[in-house]
Structure 1
Amino acid sequence: MVRRHLHKFGGSSLADADCYRRVAHILLTHGQSNDLVVVSAAGKTTNKLYHLLALRQQGAIWQEALAELIQYQQHMVEQLLTNDSARDLRERLGADKAEIVTLLQLDAMTHYQTSYLVSFGERWSARLMAALLRGSGVEACHVYAPSILVADEGIMPKIRMDQSRQLVQRLLDESGDQRLVITGFICSNPQGETLLLGRNGSDFSATLIAALAGINRVTIWTDVEGVFNADPNKISDAQLLDSMTLAEADRLARLGSPVLHERTLQPLFDTEVSLAVRSSYASHTKFTLISPVTHSASAPVVTSLQRVSLLRCQVAGDGKELLAALNQQGVPLLAHWLHTNEQEACELSLACTLDNGQQTLALLQQLSDAFGLSAINRCDDYGLVALVSADANVYRRGFARLLNRRAFALYQDELSLVTLVPAAQVTTLTQKVHRRCAGPRKRIGVILLGTGNIGSAWLQLFAKARANLSNELQISLELLGVVSSTKAYIDAKGIDASVGIERLVEQGQEWQFTDLFEQLTALPCDELIALDISASASLTLHYPAFLAHGIHMVSANKLAGSSPLPFYRQLKQQLNVRRLFWRYNASCGAGLPVQHALNDLHNSGDKVEAIGGIFSGTLCWLFEKFDGSQDFSQLVLEAKELGITEPDPRDDLSGRDMQRKLLILAREIGLPLELDDIELTSLVPDHLQHVSLTEFIDQLSDLNGPMATALADVAAQGQVIRYVASLDLQDGKCRAKVGLESVARTHPYANLTPGDNVFVIRSACYHSNPLIIRGPGAGREVTASAVQSDLAQICHDLLHE
């Protein structure tokens, strides 16, 4: 039978008899009869063995400590095994005790004898676990790892892979289907003398044996559920990761994460072995699976070290050759920074763990002559904060925004972002980075109110832009509702914006405002933004209710911004009290940045003195075309046929639309105006204002005489006629009007592309040479783009509250 699984249990999973029973249950319920098992020493056994050696070295009495250790082992044997099995292990413990006594009584112990004594903890664990499994009716035997793992000696033993693979394969062939319980942490040299595999040696043993045996999966059972996206002891809302790649896990380990040591992962590279990290105390819970590759989205992990060693030096050249030399020497750097100082000398900063700080400093001093190093120094006052992800570049902007002037610039490689900050700032920055980049994504829901041409264009734009905006801001931005004048389609799970607006409306139900607000309030999202892309007056009247329910607003509908002043002020007060956002750039100038410009002037300390322009694409088109070659009424009919005018051209010709837009801009600069404070001269004669549309079209020629006269008057002066909105602030007085004006042929109003809007802003800074904003001021695409811009800005604002 092919062996598929290797289970490894650490000391915390084998701390007492109950732990052993729990492990045996896991092996019986989570594996196959021929799985491999690697065990560490039970509880603190290894530390107690080292303590015996320390007592001996000090010349202190060690016999009592040894007796307590043997009693601890005997107590577990008696609790777990039947009489016959227990008797056998008690006898072997007695023999082991005698052997340990002999070793401790030697005048001098060799390195191999010391390693052999320390290895008793793993040997006892393997023996006891194999006996416990046999007592449960499972064929099992214990294996002493030095019989299958052979290594050359060095600072850290280097496994002879080919020889060890042959030994492992032979063991598997000879053992049949029985479970093999193998000691972790130890191996042997070619002479059979015991060597220790060092820190995290048992985990390394497990992945190494799995790679040598060709096993599909290694599970490291420990006292934590797996790998979290931050240290759960420091971040209360840290989340368990379902999966991560081997490369990500390796980078996380190299940055000092305590869950897995980097040596544990090395045997898995260039294999198909996956590694699971699970809790032996909660075997039924979710866990983390580390695979050579993963097809799921890469979740970021935030890690930190409270203190690191920072080494700095000046280096001749660009420093790259020195970095290559350090890498060749195997120096485990966490990150590095190269920059040129004011004297144009190259400065190199290296971050490494405190354990490696002195060793790295000594190496830099050795290399100083070869690489022209000077001003070498070491500082241990900094800590490290890092983010690990295969998509590290996606999180760079969000991480960078959190750095203050005392933080190092971000070091970035393919899998991580790293900075150093003063040690006192590590915890705070770690929490901020986790909240911004790795915490639960804020879910922002969007409700579309209005399903006409602009609504349809926005929906298409949103379908394309949503993913990028979500990734950029690290939020979950979802369309949750589409509401027409008669039907509402609400889906808490999210709506596919690419489906098309007609199909979405068809799926909707008839609605009333009361029912609609109940549905919106129940939606599972952190924030909700409603987009009013309608021209509905009744919808505008319900803005206070939207704000009362905590819903942010985006308006292409200009009726709210130009509503009666008490209503407008009520909305602004609600926004302030509820800390909500309302943006309405699309209500004036479509996608042109008019309100942005006014806000920028105000924020810069400038003072707006006048605003003027042509705010209607329809009226711009008409007057750019009106040169006397055809009657004005013919131009109006042509524009109507082209879809340039509203269905009722009087909505354009009345000037009311431009009047409302001018009011919106006036209020944007702080003027408490009402609509009637803006003087309006309509192009529609009084006798045609209230007749039916058919009658108006029949009598449209009544406009020709007055318009021909106006054109002739201005032409005689060498000027042109335009329909203009203007607001002037002089001597503390405000004059606002909308109507016909004659302007010079060189004026900004005189030479527009038909259909454009133009805004001319004069201020204290832009007095003799005013600020001019010109471009398409209407159209479904540009208006939809303005709505999307306002939506994105609110999302930005919500993240920076």
Structure 2
Amino acid sequence: MQVLKFGGTSVASAKNIALVKDVIFEKKSDQPLLAVVSALGGVTTQLVNCSAMAATGDAEYLKELTQIEQKHIKTVQELISLKNQSKTMGKVKILLNELEDICRGVFLIHELTSKTSDKILSFGERLSSTIIADYFNDLGHSAFLADPREFITTDNNYGRAEVDFKATNEKIKALFKSLKEKLVICPGFIAASKEGEITTLGRGGSDYTAAILAAALNSSELEIWTDVSGMMTADPRLVSSAYAIKEISYEEAMELSHFGAKVIYPPTIQPVLEKKIPIRIKNTFKKDDDGTLITEASASNGHLIKGLSSIQNIALFNLSGSGMVGIPNFSHRLFRALSAARVNVVLITQASSEHTICVGIDAKDVATSQKAIESEFAYELESHKIDPVQIERDLSIIALVGSNMKAKVGVSGQMFSVLGQNGVNIKAIAQGSSEKNISVVIREKEVKKALNSLHESFFLSEKKRMNLFLIGVGNVGSAFVEQLKKQKAYLSQHHHLDVRVVALANSRKMLFAEEGIALKNWKEQLEEKGEKMKMEAFLTQMEELNLRNSIFIDNTANADIADLYKRVLEKSISVVTPNKIACTRSQQEYMDLKKIALQYKAKFLFETNVGAGLPVINTLNDLIKSGDEVLKIEAVLSGSLNFIFNNFNRDKKFVDIVRQAQKEGYTEPDPRIDLSGADVKRKILILIRESGLAMEMEDIPSQAFIPAECMNAPSVDEFFSGLEKYEDEFQKLLTKAEKSETKIKYVASFNKGKAETGLRFVEKSHPFYNLEGKDNIVLFTTKRYPEQPLVIKGAGAGAEVTASGIFADVMRIANTN
């Protein structure tokens, strides 16, 4: 006997029932087929609402009844041919009239017993199975409508009746032995007590009916047809990259189902589990998909774990106190009190010191649980032997499930590391000695991020998603976006990275898209769809999205934005920036940012603070981490100043070279920012601090070479006018360089604890002498490089190279998280 079960979504409408017909016809063979069906989708909920309203004397229950009636009549009209409609409609009307009479009685006496509730709920399956059986008969296929009240015998525990398997199995075998029909339609969920009263089998009852029948008839396999293509590696509503598990063990399936996977309900598979009958989960709407096979011992899917699951709306009760230590019956009293209050404990964890015990329960049971615990331990609470009960709400449980975990060291460590890197705080941990399940309690709002992060980490075939939040889309920001657009396919194919720009902002507008902004026309989208830029709103939206592997990229030189790094890092969001302001404030502020990044498992990277795209800071960090010590630093760190002095000669005025540098984008729009040397001071300060030494900006003297009158000019135009007046002074610098056969460079240096910046006349033998164009150069003299310094040289200015440095920092984060 083939046994197939079709859930509520599979029989939700006439269209869906037609798909069920296709599945059954393709299965039909010489072997008989039994189809267990649920109520039409949503009807059970309507029946619950209807009975509840009737019990409170709410006449609105009649509207609910009317909707139920219309749904079934419409289904009959759409499925059954006109010549046979009246016969089916008559059966349906009889059932609906009986339902109406019962609800009317409940309404009149304002009372709903569990026995009456079972009677009302039974109509969902009785109606659907009647219509479906007649549908097959109408199509010319002889179908027998089985009544489980005749062969599934239970006790009188209405709402969740216990099955008498001995009596039930005998009746099933007797009935099906005498059947001549090859197709049997059977309603799920319902049964009858020994006295013949209607009972129901509780949550997952239709699955249970199918499992009871499959076990009693020794079926080779039980098929459960639903609206998903099997048990998924994670909830696809939360994890878009989740996929169906091809094969899984009974134990793994029960673990996943217990922790929120709704495909099957754990108690329902017990009858087939005992007989080792495989279960196959299939999708009615995608019948050609493989689905999931549940067997005694599943094959490995190539991963340590089979799936991730979660339970939401959890509350934690934490009991602690010295009066608990060494008391042998304390736990017994706690669970006895909760059991007496009919509270189900979902998770338990206890410290080995016996000083604390923590239990997770459904949030709806908080008040009941608190009352039960405080009543049980009234004496201990009053005498301060235990502390007042601590309750944490708005929590969820994440479960990592898989039989292969016990054979591999470090699974829990990997889980905790991934969650920590994404700022997910673990409230409680539970792991059984069987090592099939590791469960953690986290904040409910972190569930999506946690599931996605863990799915990426454990299911390595999937791409790792990086979420970028970009502020500043001028020259550097635009260049970065264009570089990312060009490399997106390469990163996906060769590095399994899915890098998405989730937010873009300039000084006027900001644009958010959780699934990523299309980079093809991002400028148009920002202008047309962007909302007004407000920094607080930008941060709030970024925090509320709470996406895994998030990176905040600041492409500005804005001090106000630098002020926000602390807040961003505290949300475990990494920061990448060419903005030098944050790293050149006080030593304490600089160290605080470093500590916060470490504390919240975020990255704070600013390679482009010095040398644009040159690997200056990264190289320096590698030296320090490997135990080297910096003795001396000499550097030309301003691409704009190097460009200006490299192009300054007798044929051109100094002011004209500065104008050229401004026009070609080598200086800021106001060239005084570059010519002041303040930017160079910031850069050498950053290198000193990254060397592990403490220093402040005011500790670095700077030799000014631009007259104060020019620097203090009211406008840029007046600055240029003033600069032209001092041409003779600049010509004197040039004359000095020519006479001494040197070149003018603006140099930053650090030696023996002292730093300075200013003009230097560099001889031909010096590495700085042949520095061309806008290049930067840094010389590190260290204990390992005492005679010949380590040299880093290359383009140190320009949007493209700065953007490439930002890109490199993003990749470092992607490769370390």
Deviations 1:105-160 (A, max 9, x none): 33446543332232112111111211222233333211121211111233731111
Q: Give the match for residue 354 of structure 1.
A: 363
Q: Give the match for residue 17 of structure 1.
A: 14
Q: What amino acid maps onto 2:426 in structure 1?
A: A
Decide whether the 8 Å contact of 1:309 with 1:354 is kept in 2.
yes
- Measure how far apart 1:311 and its partner are: 0.9
Q: Distance in 1 between matches of 2:193 and 2:121?
A: 16
Deviations 1:313-355 (A, max 9, x none): 1262368865577778596443332226xxx661111123324
Q: Give the match for residue 49 of structure 1.
A: 47
Q: Give the match for residue 135 of structure 1.
A: 138
Decide whether the 8 Å contact of 2:4 with 2:223 is kept in 1.
yes
Q: Output aligned runs, 1:360-371, within 5 Å.
A: 360-361=369-370, 363-365=372-374, 367-368=376-377
Q: What amino acid maps onto 1:309 in structure 2?
A: A
Decide whether the 8 Å contact of 1:300 with 1:438 is kept in 2.
no
SS of residue matched to 1:239:
coil
Decide whether the 8 Å contact of 2:226 with 2:263 is kept in 1.
no
TM-score by length of 2: 0.53
Runs of 5+ unmatched residues, structure 2: 465-489, 498-607, 633-690, 693-750, 754-781, 785-810
Q: Distance in 2 between matches of 1:361 and 1:168?
A: 46
Higher mean alpha-carbon deviation, 310-319 vs 112-121, is at 310-319
Q: What amino acid maps onto 1:350 in structure 2?
A: V
Q: Give the match for residue 253 of structure 2.
A: 249
Q: Distance in 2 between matches of 1:261 and 1:338?
A: 28
- Measure how far apart 1:52 and its partner are: 3.2
Q: Distance in 1 between matches of 2:458 and 2:366?
A: 30
SS of residue matched to 2:274:
coil
Q: Distance in 1 between matches of 2:313 and 2:209?
A: 29
Deviations 1:497-541 (A, max 9, x none): xxxxxxxxxxxxxxxxxxxxxxxx99964279xxxxxxxxxxxxx
Q: Distance in 2 between matches of 1:239 and 1:422?
A: 25
Q: What amino acid maps onto 1:434 in structure 2?
A: H
1:124 aligns with 2:122: no
Q: Distance in 2 between matches of 1:388 and 1:204?
A: 23
Q: Distance in 1 between matches of 2:316 and 2:491?
A: 52
Aligned alpha-carbon RMSD (Å): 4.3
1:66 aligns with 2:75: no
- Measure how far apart 1:169 and its partner are: 1.3
Using a 3 Å threshold, how does the CA distance of structure 1 residues 239 and 607 change in structure 2: closer, same or farther?
A: same
- For residue 339 of structure 1, the aligned residue among 325, 340, 351 is 351
Q: Distance in 2 between matches of 1:523 and 1:434?
A: 17
Q: Give the match for residue 426 of structure 1.
A: 447
Deviations 1:750-788 (A, max 9, x none): xxxxxxxxxxx989xxxxxxxxxxxxxxxxxxxxxxxxx
Q: Output aligned runs, 1:714-725, within 5 Å.
A: none
Q: Give the match for residue 497 of structure 1.
A: none
- Measure how far apart 1:390 and its partner are: 1.5
- For residue 405 of structure 2, the aligned residue among 369, 389, 392 is 392
Q: Give the match for residue 36 of structure 1.
A: 34
Deviations 1:336-389 (A, max 9, x none): 32226xxx6611111233245455545544653799865323321322222112
Q: Distance in 2 between matches of 1:232 and 1:433?
A: 14
Q: Give the match for residue 309 of structure 2.
A: 303
Q: Output aligned runs, 1:674-713, within 5 Å.
A: none
Decide whether the 8 Å contact of 1:12 with 1:43 is kept in 2.
yes
- For residue 258 of structure 1, the aligned residue among 252, 258, 262 is 262
Q: Give the match for residue 288 of structure 1.
A: 292
Deviations 1:61-103 (A, max 9, x none): 5545434432332222232223453222112123223323332
- Measure how far apart 1:427 and its partner are: 2.3
Using a 3 Å threshold, how does the CA distance of structure 1 residues 102 and 425 change in structure 2: closer, same or farther?
A: closer
Q: Output aligned runs, 1:26-425, within 5 Å.
A: 26-32=23-29, 33-57=31-55, 58-60=57-59, 62-63=61-62, 65-106=64-105, 107-108=108-109, 111-154=114-157, 156-297=160-301, 299-314=305-320, 316-317=324-325, 332-339=344-351, 346-358=355-367, 360-361=369-370, 363-365=372-374, 367-368=376-377, 374-392=387-405, 394=408, 395-401=411-417, 402-403=419-420, 404=423, 406-408=425-427, 410-413=429-432, 414-425=435-446
Q: Distance in 2 between matches of 1:318 and 1:73?
A: 62
Q: What amino acid maps onto 2:447 in structure 1?
A: V
Q: Distance in 1 between matches of 2:212 and 2:379?
A: 38
Decide whether the 8 Å contact of 1:601 with 1:608 is kept in 2.
no
- Measure how far apart 1:191 and its partner are: 0.5
1:599 aligns with 2:625: yes
Higher mean alpha-carbon deviation, 377-386 vs 354-363, is at 354-363
Using a 3 Å threshold, how does the CA distance of structure 1 residues 36 and 337 change in structure 2: closer, same or farther?
A: same
Deviations 1:398-453 (A, max 9, x none): 2111225842354222212222223332222222222212353579xxxxxxxxxx
Using a 3 Å threshold, how does the CA distance of structure 1 residues 280 and 370 change in structure 2: closer, same or farther?
A: farther
* Matched residue count: 492
Higher mean alpha-carbon deviation, 17-26 vs 277-286, is at 277-286
Q: What amino acid maps onto 2:185 in structure 1?
A: V
Q: Distance in 2 between matches of 1:89 and 1:309?
A: 49
Q: Distance in 2 between matches of 1:183 and 1:49?
A: 16
Q: Of the two, which has the highest radius of gyration?
A: 1
Q: What amino acid maps onto 2:88 in structure 1?
A: L
Decide whether the 8 Å contact of 1:301 with 1:438 is kept in 2.
no
Q: What amino acid maps onto 2:68 in structure 1?
A: L
Decide whether the 8 Å contact of 1:254 with 1:334 is kept in 2.
no
Q: What amino acid maps onto 2:356 in structure 1?
A: E
TM-score by length of 1: 0.54
Deviations 1:272-325 (A, max 9, x none): 122222221111123122222112345432223343111111262368865577
SS of residue matched to 1:164:
helix
Using a 3 Å threshold, how does the CA distance of structure 1 residues 332 and 319 change in structure 2: closer, same or farther?
A: farther
Q: What amino acid maps onto 1:303 in structure 2?
A: S
SS of residue matched to 2:95:
helix
Decide whether the 8 Å contact of 1:400 with 1:410 is kept in 2.
no
Q: What amino acid maps onto 2:362 in structure 1?
A: T
Runs of 5+ unmatched residues, structure 1: 444-520, 529-571, 584-594, 610-668, 671-729, 733-760, 764-794
Decide whether the 8 Å contact of 1:300 with 1:437 is kept in 2.
no
Using a 3 Å threshold, how does the CA distance of structure 1 residues 377 and 524 change in structure 2: closer, same or farther?
A: closer
SS of residue matched to 2:358:
strand
Decide whether the 8 Å contact of 1:35 with 1:180 is kept in 2.
yes
Using a 3 Å threshold, how does the CA distance of structure 1 residues 275 and 94 change in structure 2: closer, same or farther?
A: same
Q: Distance in 2 between matches of 1:405 and 1:81?
A: 55
Decide whether the 8 Å contact of 1:24 with 1:132 is kept in 2.
no
Q: Distance in 1 between matches of 2:366 and 2:404?
A: 30
Q: Distance in 2 between matches of 1:64 and 1:601?
A: 79
Q: Distance in 2 between matches of 1:522 and 1:360?
A: 51
Q: Distance in 2 between matches of 1:369 and 1:182?
A: 52
SS of residue matched to 2:195:
coil
Using a 3 Å threshold, how does the CA distance of structure 1 residues 365 and 140 change in structure 2: closer, same or farther?
A: farther
Using a 3 Å threshold, how does the CA distance of structure 1 residues 346 and 117 change in structure 2: closer, same or farther?
A: same
Q: Give the match for residue 526 of structure 1.
A: 495
SS of residue matched to 2:440:
strand
Q: Output aligned runs, 1:460-539, within 5 Å.
A: 525-526=494-495
- Measure how far apart 1:175 and its partner are: 1.5
Decide whether the 8 Å contact of 1:601 with 1:607 is kept in 2.
no
- Measure how far apart 1:27 and its partner are: 0.7
- Measure how far apart 1:47 and its partner are: 2.6
Decide whether the 8 Å contact of 1:319 with 1:348 is kept in 2.
no
